[in-house]
A = this chain, B = another copy of it.
Amino acid sequence: MSTATLTTDLAALTANWRDLDSRTACETAAVVKADGYGLGAAEVSRALAAAGARHFFVAVAEEGVALRQALGEGPSISVFSGHMAGDTDLIAGAQLTPMLNSVDQMLRHVESLPGHPFGLQLDTGMNRLGMEAAEWDAVKAIALGQSPTLIMSHLACADTPDDDMNARQLARFREMTDGIDAPRSLAATGGILLGTEFHFDLTRPGIGLYGGLPFVDARPVVTLDIPVIQVRDVSPGETVGYGNAWMAGQPSRIATISSGYADGIIRAMGPKARLHAGDMPVPVAGRISMDLIGVDVTTLPGDPETLQLVGPHQSVDTVADFADTIGYEILTSLGARYRRVYRT
């Protein structure tokens, strides 16, 4: 079998949720968009529901429909992209709660599904999703009259606690919502860690559940073990992989492992990445190709059967550094070819 094994530790995942929950006095939801940050929305959400989560967030209505099938009736499922043209049947059928982003979306919602629950997303400076202050002023009274389930906004710089954008967005959110009679939410993982004034009535952690920064106390959730297809001796001056990008400077031993950028191992990390054999680090040799990676295992005492890209010796954030990106992208890029194992 040349399929790599992606192991998700659901016990660590739920421990991360409980840990983040314990840091606030309010409700803690869970963001499971992008297929549960690449780990499987159904498995992840069922584990979190069993741990006590009652409110889930997805990006688009289609994800909400799949999640409703996985979770059954009961938990609330909110949709960040709101109520788009064509979403009405999905929202009604799967009992989804759209987070309405504009007056257009609000009109669509109240006309097509009068009385159906909705939330409202406000823009507090990120200029990505949500109503602007002027729009909000125009519809606030009508909207609040229909008892929205949640009034929310999103922080642009929560991963950087010192950024004064955080205080500015908090102030704007309070200006737009203080005194209203509806639950409020501003914080995802980073916002939870910024302090209680960011918590309001509900937090929406995503990346922290999955073991990623900025939640430095997170338990690692993911392990990725890749089988070795073959190992060969390479003489000084011989090259490895596409474009002859790596040349042996000494007698070397090269393992070819069975994963590549088609499995979400971002090609850009080629020159910088390393893997582990047990606790011994071994560097990538040459370019990452579609399904294969060369690894210099010269320093190992014997030929390995598998090498580990993500695990106790190397977090998703460390792997992200190899590609000059963020742990979020490492997770959501995890490919469809892995054998997926869930530990409980």
- Interface residue ranges, A against B (CB under 8 Å): 1-3, 33-35, 38, 59-63, 80-82, 84-87, 101-102, 104-105, 123, 125-129, 132, 156-157, 160, 163, 165, 227, 229-230, 232-234, 238-244, 254, 256, 258, 261-262, 264, 266-268, 286, 289-292, 294, 323-326, 328-329, 332-333, 336-337
**A324 and B127 in contact (CB under 8 A), knowing A82-B229, A230-B101, A291-B80?**
no
The oligomer's copy count stands at: 2
Q: Which residues of B have CB within 8 Å of A105?
A: 230
- In contact, A87 and B127 (Cβ under 8 angstroms): no
Minimum distance in angstroms from A327 CB to a CB of chain B: 11
* 3 pairs of A and B residues whose beta carbons are closest in the complex: A1-B86, A34-B262, A262-B332
Q: Contact check, A232 vs B132: say whether CB atoms are below 8 A apart.
A: yes
Structural contact, B84 and A125, CB atoms closer than 8 A:
no
Residues of B within 8 A of A132 (CB): 232-233
| Bound CA–CA A260/B156 (angstroms) | 16
Contacts of A61 in B (CB 8 A): 1-2
The answer on a CB contact under 8 Å between A87 and B256 is no
A292 and B60 alpha carbons, distance in the complex (Å): 11
Closest-by-CB residue of B relative to A288 is B329
Chain B CB within 10 Å — which of A128, A132, A324 has the most? A128
Chain B contacts for A266, CB-based, 8 A? 266, 329
Bound Cα distance A241, B262 (Å): 28
Nearest B residue to A266 by beta-carbon distance?
Answer: B266
Chain B positions within 8 Å of A81 at CB level: 2, 229, 258, 291
A311 to B216, CA, bound (A): 41
Nearest CB on B from A326, distance (A): 7
Contacts of A324 in B (CB 8 A): 268
Q: Are B1 and A85 in contact, CB atoms less than 8 angstroms apart?
A: yes
Residues of B within 8 A of A262 (CB): 33-35, 38, 59, 332-333
Judge whether B84 and A294 touch: CB under 8 Å: no
24 A/B residue pairs, CB under 8 Å, sorted by A: A1-B86, A1-B87, A34-B262, A34-B291, A59-B258, A62-B337, A81-B258, A81-B291, A101-B229, A125-B239, A126-B240, A127-B241, A128-B241, A163-B244, A165-B244, A262-B333, A264-B333, A266-B266, A266-B329, A267-B326, A268-B324, A290-B328, A290-B329, A336-B336
Query: Which B-chain residue is minimally distant from A88 (CB atoms)?
Result: B1
A77 to chain B, nearest CB (A): 15
**In the complex, how many angstroms separate the beta carbon of A37 from the nearest chain B beta carbon?**
8
Closest B residue to A103 using CB positions: B230
Question: Which of B87, B156, B256, B325 is the one whose CB lies under 8 Å from A2?
Answer: B87
Cα distance, A84 to B228, chains bound together (Å) = 9
In the complex, A244 Cα to B127 Cα: how many Å?
A: 10
Answer whether A243 and B290 are a contact pair too, CB < 8 Å, given A102-B230, A261-B332, A337-B60: no
Asked if B238 contacts A62 (CB within 8 A), the reply is no
Name the residue of chain B whose CB is nearest to the CB of A238.
B127
Complex-state Cα separation, A86 to B325, whole angstroms = 35
Query: In whole angstroms, what is the CA distance A324 to B325 when docked?
Result: 14
State A268–B293 Cα separation when bound (angstroms): 21
**Chain B contacts of A84 at CB under 8 A?**
1-2, 227, 229, 258
Q: How distant is the Cα of A163 from the Cα of B132 in the complex, in angstroms?
A: 56
Task: For A329, list chain B residues within 8 Å (CB).
Answer: 261, 266-267, 290
